[in-house]
Structure 1
Amino acid sequence: MQTRPVADPDFQKMLSGFSLTTAKIHYRMPDHPSFLQTFLWQFTDIAPDYPRLMRFLDHWRREVEAAIHSVEVMHRGLIAPHEIRMVTDLGKLH
């Protein structure tokens, strides 16, 4: 009996639209409102709606005492065409 190779689940997610996302959340704690702190989180999500990030931010607003000042979102598709250069000459090494 021959088994079929199964694609990696993370690769299947990439094919369905997930891509690498980095969220940089600036926040202030209630006991030190003059300090702006940073939380950096990297995960896979679907741009441009970012449902996973939105769930996380909703959870933060409900459950965490720190007030969000701003959120920066960086996004990069993991599957993209790459530059290919053909080699036209091969040298000889003695």
Structure 2
Amino acid sequence: MTGPNQPKAPTSNSIQSAPSELELQLKGYRLATAEFLYHMPDHPTILQSFIWQTYDLLPEYPEIHKFIDFWEENIDGPLHSVHVASCDLLTPGDARFADVIYQIH
């Protein structure tokens, strides 16, 4: 039953799905892990750690930069430092040739 107050079913044109992890990796995105060290707002001499993972483009890291901008505008704890590590999850396969082939009957 649908009425005037019932939500309408979304049409295929209104649904935008986020790209899958595989699609992002094929576009050059890599898994990046960022550790944010920040000063606690109530105790500025104490550092707290926050770890965040996202898919990002190397070496510019635009997603991490967006997050840093968001942090500086909206979070009370000022950043002390940010450490970033990344790795390729989608890599070409390794091909090796056998040195010896044994046949057992």
Same fold (TM over 0.5): yes
Secondary structure of the equivalent of 1:33? coil
Aligned 1:1-94 pairs, distance under 5 A: 9-83=20-94
Structure possessing the higher radius of gyration over alpha carbons = 2
> CA-atom RMSD, angstroms?
2.2
Which has more strand, going by share of residues? Answer: 1
How many residues in Structure 1 have an aligned counterpart in Structure 2? 86
Structure 2: stretches of 5+ with no match in the other structure: 1-18
TM-score, scaled relative to structure 1: 0.77
Superposition deviation, residue 9 in structure 1:
2.7
If asked which structure has higher relative contact order (CA below 8 Å, sep 6+), I would say 1
Structure 1: stretches of 5+ with no match in the other structure: 1-7
TM-score, scaled relative to structure 2: 0.69
Q: Distance in 2 between matches of 1:34 and 1:82?
A: 48
Q: Distance in 1 between matches of 2:57 and 2:98?
A: 37
Superposition deviation, residue 81 in structure 1:
3.1
Report sequence identity in percent.
36
Q: Distance in 1 between matches of 2:95 and 2:48?
A: 42
Structure 1 runs (4+) deviating above 4 angstroms are: 82-90
Secondary structure of the equivalent of 2:90? coil
